[in-house]
A and B are shown apart, each in its own frame.
Chain A
Amino acid sequence: MSTSNAVEDIVDAGATSLLRFATAGSVDDGKSTLVGRLLHDSKSVLTDQLEAVERASLGRGQEAPDLALLTDGLRAEREQGITIDVAYRYFATPRRRFILADTPGHVQYTRNMVTGASTAELAVVLVDARNGVVEQTRRHAAVAALLRVPHVVLAVNKMDLVDYAEPVFAAIAEEFTTYAASLGVPEITAIPISALAGDNVVAPSANMDWYGGPTVLEHLETVPVVADPSDDPGRFPVQYVIRPQTAEHPDYRGYAGQIASGVLRVGDPVTVLPSGRTSTIEAIDALGQAVDVAWAPQSVTVRLTDDLDISRGDLIAPTATAPGVSQDIEATICHVADRPLTVGQRVLLKHTTRTVKAIVKDIPSRLTLDDLSQHPAPGELAANDIGRIVVRTAEPLALDAYADSRRTGSFLLIDPADGTTLTAGMAGTAFAEAAAEAAPAASADDEGWDF
């Protein structure tokens, strides 16, 4: 954080970029220590927070302050010394501001890692250098690939316990990179660290001069996070219709929403889905300022040249790249509720701003994350299961493949009886195309890789 007095610095500080990232690691890989070290060494832990941790650590008879207490915020977590739920942390350096989703590592909390990864642009997967790539590591890599987190960092921790030996790191990095690449993870950066000793977390390590790459923080500060939205088709889900009906604005009719992907321009011919009616963008209002062009993820209000019947849940898209609509959806899902999802179940499906009735027509397979093998026709999916489903909706939806858009390719299934969130859905195939060729044969009787 800047401590300068200059007003320009204050304005500059407001112009830094924002990186959302998630951490994942098994129970004893030292994830809490890494997060604590990152916060502590980047001077993001303030005196009163540290004092509270010291007080609590002393109170339970520990000699050194337990940095995990910084992140484990619930009574039950502190009592058991484990992370149960996602916690969000905030810290900043002069280059960037960070939102960290600190997610639990237990198998039973896969849904919480999915929660953290769904909005992350980068995932840090932690491995204990002594154990190398284990089942849980593969699970974390698979979840990151499934959720299509654009950047993955492999942090090989506890290097101090393997004499900071390069061959140990190189072997783990290679095994992980081969595995993650086969799932279609686009970019993998491996960093040897010791969270406990502070090697390569914030400051470069003097113990590993064979490593020439960035520290964890350096990488977080420099990884490019802004994709070029002009590559993506424009998608604008209508959230709310603004009609002031005042003397000043008697005829104003604006469609408010957050651009889900791509770019919108005044003058663009657009199609409104699912109706298929067409019009032209007359004006774009970016929260108080009229603009000619706006892009994801800006929240704007759009006006059209024609007075069409458009309401919440409709999708406005440039006519040239408008998506098709369908009532039959095939998707990969992570089931997040305690009650199972079954074939024939009636649910609500929330996609962008539209919620429709739907029925689960089929559950063709369940994925075993440990070895990525498929279990055909499981009949139902239980909490934390990942599987394929086929859903029929009561109304047509303008759905993209999740591979093309995390925003317009994702949906929730909701229990109509009490509103429980049942399932996180990702339309289309789960892993990137690379997976189809590079996938290991999961088991002899598998028909192939259709995840």
Chain B
Amino acid sequence: MTTIAAVTDDIDNPYALSHLDALESEAVHIFREVAGEFERPVILFSGGKDSIVMLHLALKAFAPAAVPFSLLHVDTGHNFPEVLDYRDRAVERHGLRLHVASVQDFIDRGELRERPDGTRNPLQTVPLLDAIEKGRFDAVFGGGRRDEEKARAKERVFSLRDEFGGWDPRRQRPELWQLYNGKHSPGEHVRVFPLSNWTELDVWQYIAREKIELPAIYYAHEREVFARNGMWLAPGEWGGPKDGESLERRQVRYRTVGDMSCTGAVDSDADTIEAVITEIAASRLTERGATRADDKMSEAAMEDRKREGYF
């Protein structure tokens, strides 16, 4: 009875789906489940590549009808201008509705305090939860992927959040087959991650296949940067460079796009999508390890932030 499996190439099978088709089909199924089961879903949209892919998938899932969700951007006030520009053009082009939750407004009203290190990424949680409550959103799509980080590797596709927006990894619902359970009590909401099973490389291969436009900063360009904690940061009103940090002009690109104070650029001459894919396939660093300062704060930085309501 012990068998040695015959070597067969699935590609020869006329019914084989490529891994990108399988991931796309699964993500579309997730979008449609949410549309079918929730009253007020919203897509978190930052203008980063993962949220851009999410929007692209949502457009395909409901075509030729419009996407039945609005967008929500948590604006740290320290965004790359190219990304805000992309965001506004996307909203315009697809006739979508955009909600903006502004970290700056919370600081101006004294409801949040600037951190000594100038990083606003962890400050996003309060405006996010406030926007979810005020908008009465019951499902919130995030572009989080399980390959990004070890706490995210534990995340469900449908992730129930309590009335404080908190994630309790020990009390997650088992998630069986493709039967996603979106039931929740009033005040609770569900975070939904249609890209859970995608890797960074999958996202880029899909962007290439579908010819999706991205903000230009994802491709190699010359930029003034300065070194801090082993990363190349872009100068800005957010508070860099400080004394002792000096600007230099380098050929760089971004692997992730977030708050300018904690999103680093990488040295790169990859100025086309093929070059980017080749570079990522050969890279010995993860995306977040290379370019995100906030994940380096402690061994469980992401788990701790997610417990508080971060996405």
Contacts and interface: CB of A to CB of B under 8 A. Distances in A.
B61 A114 contact: no
A244 B176 contact: no
Nearest to A351: B179
B109 interface: no
Contact of A48 (B23, B173, B185, B285): B285
Contacts of B151: 73-74
A99 interface: yes
B1 A188 contact: yes
B269 to A, nearest CB: 13
Contacts of B303: 73-75
Interface of A is mostly: mixed
Contacts of B28: 258, 287, 299
A3 interface: yes
A249 B63 CA distance: 11
B32 A239 contact: yes
Contacts of B13: 226, 228
Contacts of B79: none
A297 B61 contact: no
Most buried by A among B1, B8, B284, B286: B1
Given A2-B281, A287-B60, A187 B5 contact: yes
Given A2-B281, A46-B284, A90-B199, A112 B169 contact: no
A239 B36 contact: yes
Contacts of A291: none
A222 B36 contact: no
A375 interface: no
Interface string B36-67: 10000000000000000000000011111110
A229 B16 CA distance: 10
Nearest to B57: A287
Contact of B5 (A13, A90, A223, A226): A223
Contact of B289 (A46, A119, A297): A46
A323 B281 CA distance: 46
A17 B170 contact: no
B89 interface: no
Contacts of B229: none
Interface stretch (A128-136, A408-416, A441-449): A408-416
Interface stretch (A4-12, A26-34, A366-374, A385-393): A4-12
Contacts of A37: none
Nearest to A109: B174
Interface residues of A, number: 102
Interface range on chain B (Cβ under 8 Å from partner):
35 or more
Interface in B4-52: 4-8, 10-11, 13, 15-26, 28-29, 32-33, 35-36
Contacts of B150: 70-73, 87
A288 B154 CA distance: 33
B32 A299 contact: yes
A427 interface: no
B176 A240 contact: no
A379 interface: no
B201 interface: yes
Interface in A279-320: 285, 287-288, 295, 297-299, 312
A222 B303 CA distance: 36
Interface stretch (A194-202, A269-277, A356-364, A417-425): A417-425
Interface of B: 1-8, 10-11, 13, 15-26, 28-29, 32-33, 35-36, 60-66, 146-147, 149-151, 153-154, 160, 169-170, 172-179, 181, 183-185, 196-197, 199, 201-202, 205-206, 208-209, 274, 277-278, 281-286, 289-290, 299-300, 303
State the 5 A-B residue pairs at the shortest beta-carbon distance, nearest first: A419-B183, A48-B289, A73-B150, A18-B19, A244-B65
17 contacts: A10-B274, A14-B209, A15-B11, A46-B289, A71-B150, A92-B199, A97-B19, A177-B2, A187-B3, A224-B5, A224-B6, A239-B32, A246-B65, A287-B24, A299-B24, A421-B176, A421-B181
Given A18-B19, A47-B289, A256-B61, 11 more contacts: A1-B281, A47-B285, A74-B151, A74-B170, A97-B19, A115-B176, A187-B3, A224-B6, A258-B32, A414-B181, A418-B183
